[in-house]
Structure 1
Amino acid sequence: MEHQIKNKGFNQPTIFFQIPSFLIKKPTIIFSINPTSIASPIPPKITMNSPILLFFFFFTVFIHPSISSSVSLSISSNSLSKSNNSVTIRWSGVDSPSELDWLGIYSPPNSSLRNYIGYLYLNTSETWRSGSGQITIPLINLRSGYKLRIFRWSESEIIPTRRDHDNNPLPQPKHPLAETEEFGFGSGPGSRSGPGSGPDQVHLALTGVEGEMRVVFVSGDGRESVVRYGLDPGLGTDSGRVVGSRVSRYEREDMCDSPANSSVGWRDPGFIHDGVMVGLEPGKRYFYKVGSDAGGWSSTFSFVSPDNDSGETIAFLYGDMGTATPYNTFVRTQDESISTINWIARDIESLGDKPAMISHIGDISYARGYSWLWDHFFNQIEPVASKVPYHVCIGNHEYDWPLQPWKPDWAMYIYGKDGGGECGIPYSLKFHMPGNSSEPTGTRAPATRNLYYSFDFGVVHFVYLSTETNFLKGSKQYEFLKRDLESVDRAKTPFVVVQGHRPMYTTSYEVRDRPINEKMLEHLEPLLVDNGVNLALWGHVHRYERFCPINNFTCGSGPVHVVIGMAGQDWQSIWEPRPNHETVPIFPQPARSIYRGGEFGYTKLVANREKLTFTYIGNHDGEVHDAVEILASGKVINGEVTNTVAEEGRRSDGNNRGKSGETSFTWYVQCAGVLLFCVLVGYLIGLMSRTKEVVVANKEWTPVKTTEEA
Structure 2
Amino acid sequence: MISPSNSSVKGCLLNSVYYIQTGDLSNLPLLCHYPVKAQYMSEDPSYLTCGKKECRKRLAGKCLVETCGGAVTFHVINFRTDVEFVFFAGGFDTPCVLGRSDPVPFANPSMPLNGHLSSLDSTATSMRLTWVSGDNNPQQVQYGEGKTATSQVTTFTQADMCSSSLLPSPAKDFGWHDPGYIHSAVMTGLQPSQTYYYRYGSDLVGWSSRIEFKTPPAAGSEELHFLIYGDMGKAPLDPSVEHYIQPGSISVVAAMAKEIGAGSVDSIFHIGDISYATGFLVEWDYFLHLITPLASHVSYMTAIGNHERDYVDSGSVYITPDSGEHDWTSNSEQYQWIQNDLSSVDRTRTPWLIFAGHRPMYSSYSSILPNVDAKFVKSVEPLLLTYEVDLVFFGHVHNYERTCAVYGGECKGMPKKDKNGVDTYDNSNYTAPVHVVVGTGGFVLDSFSHNPKSWSLSRFSEFGYATVRATRNDLLLEFLSSNTSEVLDRFHIVKPEAK
Q: In structure 1, what is the equivalent of residue 386 of structure 2?
A: 530
Determine if contact 1:617/1:626 at 8 Å carries over to the other structure. Answer: yes
Find the counterpart in structure 2 of residue 570 from structure 1: 444
CA contact (8 A) 1:363 1:397 kept: yes
1:262 and 1:327 map into 2 onto residues whose CA distance is 28
Match of 1:594 among 457, 460, 464: 457
| Deviation readout 1:450-474 (Å, 9 max, x if unpaired) | xx41311111001111001011112
- Secondary structure at the counterpart of residue 299 of structure 1: coil
State whether structure 2 residue 40 is matched by structure 1 residue 121: yes
After TM superposition, give the deviation of residue 330 of structure 1 in Å: 5.5
- Tell me which residue corresponds to 2:129: 215
Q: How many matched pairs? A: 431
Contact between 1:508 and 1:587, CA under 8 Å: does it hold in 2?
no
2:5 counterpart (109, 124, 127): 109
Q: Where in structure 2 are there 5+ consecutive unaligned residues?
A: 10-30, 51-67, 414-430
Q: RMSD of the alignment, in Å? A: 1.7
Match runs of 1:118-197 below 5 Å: 118-129=37-48, 130=50, 131-153=68-90, 170-176=92-98, 178-187=99-108, 196-197=109-110
Matches within 5 A, 1:502-541: 502-510=359-367, 512-513=369-370, 517-541=373-397
Cα distance in structure 1, aligned partners of 2:255 and 2:436: 21
CA contact (8 A) 1:315 1:359 kept: yes
Corresponding residue of 2:20: none
Structure 2 equivalent of residue 545 of structure 1: 401
Which residue among 168, 173, 176 is the counterpart of 1:266? 176
Structure 1 segment 419-498 matched on structure 2, within 5 A: 452-498=309-355
Query: Aligned match of 1:300 in 210, 223, 226?
Result: 210
Q: 1:291 aligns with which of 201, 213, 223?
A: 201
Q: How far apart are 1:331 and its partner, in Å?
A: 2.9
Q: Displacement of 1:109 after TM fit?
A: 1.1
Is there any run of 5+ residues in structure 1 with no aligned partner, and where?
1-104, 155-169, 188-195, 232-239, 399-451, 576-585, 635-710
User: Match for residue 199 of structure 1?
Assistant: 112
Distance in 2 (alpha carbons) for counterparts of 1:261 and 1:597: 35
Inter-partner Cα distance in structure 1 for 2:239 and 2:156: 26
With over 3 angstroms needed to count, the CA separation of the structure-2 counterparts of 1:264 and 1:328, relative to structure 1, is farther
Structure of greater Rg: 1
Is the CA contact 1:311–1:459 (under 8 Å) kept in the aligned structure 2? yes
* 3-state secondary structure, aligned to 1:384: helix
Deviation at 1:171, TM superposition (A): 4.6
Indicate conservation of the 8 Å contact 2:74/2:240, yes or no.
no
Shift of 1:181: 2.6
Distance 1:269 1:336 in 2: 26
The answer for the alignment partner of 1:228 in structure 2 is: 142
- Report whether the alignment pairs 1:321 with 2:240: no
Letter in 2 for 1:477: Q
The residue type equivalent to 1:602 in the other structure is Y
One-letter amino acid of the structure 2 residue matched with residue 478 of structure 1: Y
Partners of 2:153 and 2:239 in 1: CA distance: 31
Q: Distance in 1 between matches of 2:444 and 2:478?
A: 21
Q: Secondary structure at the match of 1:346?
A: helix
Aligned letter for 1:183?
V
Distance 1:365 1:283 in 2: 29
SS of alignment partner, residue 185 of structure 1: coil
Q: Structure 1 pair 218/301, CA: closer, same or farther in 2 (3 Å)?
A: same
Q: 2:251 aligns with which of 339, 347, 358?
A: 339
Distance 2:351 2:445 in 1: 37
The letter for the 1-side match of 2:86 is: R
Contact 1:252 1:260 in 2 (8 A): no
> Alignment partner for residue 627 of structure 1, among 467, 490, 493?
490
Is residue 2:142 matched to residue 1:254? no
Matched residue, 1:499: 356
Partner of residue 260 from structure 2, selected from 341, 348, 367: 348
Equivalent residue, structure 1, for 2:64: none
> Secondary structure in 2 aligned to 1:629?
strand
CA displacement at 1:476 relative to structure 2:
1.1
**1:218-264 superposed Cα distances (whole Å, 9 cap, x missing partner):** 01121111111015xxxxxxxx1111111111101111223433432
Structure 1: distance between partners of 2:169 and 2:436: 33
Give the Cα–Cα distance (whole angstroms) in 2 for the partners of residues 485 and 175 of structure 1. Answer: 59
Question: For the residues of structure 1 that align with 2:231 and 2:97, how far apart are their CA atoms?
Answer: 38
Q: Quick one: which amino acid aligns to residue 218 of structure 1?
A: V
The answer (yes or no) to whether the contact 1:362–1:396 under 8 Å persists in 2 is yes
Write out per-residue CA displacement over residues 182-211 of structure 1, whole angstroms, 9 at most, x where no aligned residue.
223223xxxxxxxx1111111100012520
SS of 1:519's equivalent in the other structure is helix
What percentage of residue pairs aligned between the two structures are identical?
36
The 8 Å contact of residues 399 and 445 in structure 2, kept in 1 or not, is answered as: no
For structure 1, which segment, 255-264 or 587-596, has the greater mean C-alpha deviation from structure 2 after superposition? 255-264
Shift of residue 214, structure 1, vs aligned partner: 0.5
Show CA shifts across 1:122-167 (max 9, x none).
001121111222222221111111111212225xxxxxxxxxxxxx
- C-alpha deviations, 1:96-122, integer Å up to 9, x for none? xxxxxxxxx011111111222221000
Does 2:185 match 1:275? yes
Equivalent residues of 1:283, 1:355 under 8 A apart: no
1:364 is aligned to 2:274: yes
Structure 1 residue 523: deviation in Å? 1.2
